[in-house]
Amino acid sequence: MEFGARVRVLVGSILILVSLVVLRYFQLSGPDMFWIVVMGCGVLLFAVGSRWVLYDVRFFSGYRDMWPVLCAAMVVAWLIHAVQLENYASSSPLGAFFGTVNVFVTVALLHLTNIPITVSGDILSFGPPSMIGGVEVTPLCGGFLSFLMFIAAFSFVTVDVGRSLGVLRLAFLLLTGVGVTFAATILRVYVVILVGFRWGLNALYLAHTYLGYALFLSVACGFWYAALTWNKRFSSGPAKH
């Protein structure tokens, strides 16, 4: 890799991290005019950073088509808070359903790994040797926002490159993507609880703040790489001998 490319990769990685940190602080504040301007800057930083990393690192060469998808997901992540969609998610039947399912599956995973736990509604309580007393799994933890981000990214890819797949294949991709995204969200809750169980509240807050982004981006990249590869193979038809 030439020197210029290395610089772009380093700066691009920093821009991605900065955009995620700024997004998190935005989510913890009120959506006023200042943050609306910052929102645009954060999306721009992420777009530039992700493009440099995807296009200059040979390992990510197969993911270059993912650049618009990741940018679309980032825009949705900002808009979700800008319009206070979290409040709707917390009270909607779909958000409540996601939360209930998440609690059920997370508790099952904790039991399977021999974590002592007591359940009361959406409150999970832990006994010794846990470093935390308990956590509340709200509807926002249940994958509703990740679900919306995936739908937005899926719609973008459908318009851009997915039309040749046909209705049935697109429906299959949609259902698969929603399922994978939801599974990643449940894994996030489980891992966050394990971190708190082993290392306490500070570690739990850190994992809660940033693990979701890492998981969603990883799942999105992996899923859409497979989907776009499938699309190219399907579009090219059977190999000729």
pTM of structure: 0.67
Give the pLDDT confidence of 173-201 residue by residue, as tens digits: 778 877 887 788 788 888 889 999 999 98
- Tell me: pLDDT of 239 over 60: no
DSSP character string of 56-74:
H-GGGGGGGGGHHHHHHHH
Judge contact between 177 and 230, C-beta under 8 A: no
| Residue partners of 107: CB distance under 8 A and separation at least 6 | 117, 119, 124
Give the pLDDT confidence of 52-65 residue by residue, as tens digits: 888 887 766 766 76
23 or 12, which is more confident: 12
Averaged pLDDT of the chain? 76
Q: In the Cβ-directed half-sphere of 57, how many Cα atoms lie within 13 Å? A: 17
Q: Once rounded to an integer, what is the mean pLDDT over residues 87-104? A: 76
* Straight-line distance from the first to the last Cα atom of the chain, in angstroms, rounded to the nearest whole number: 36
Please tell me the predicted confidence (pLDDT) of residue 199: 93
| Residue partners of 111: CB distance under 8 A and separation at least 6 | 117
Please tell me the predicted confidence (pLDDT) of residue 240: 45
Number of residues assigned to the chain: 241
Alpha-carbon span 6 to 159, nearest angstrom: 33
Alpha-carbon span 72 to 148, nearest angstrom: 11
Judge contact between 146 and 216, C-beta under 8 A: yes
pLDDT band at 125 (very low <50, low <70, confident <90, very high): very high
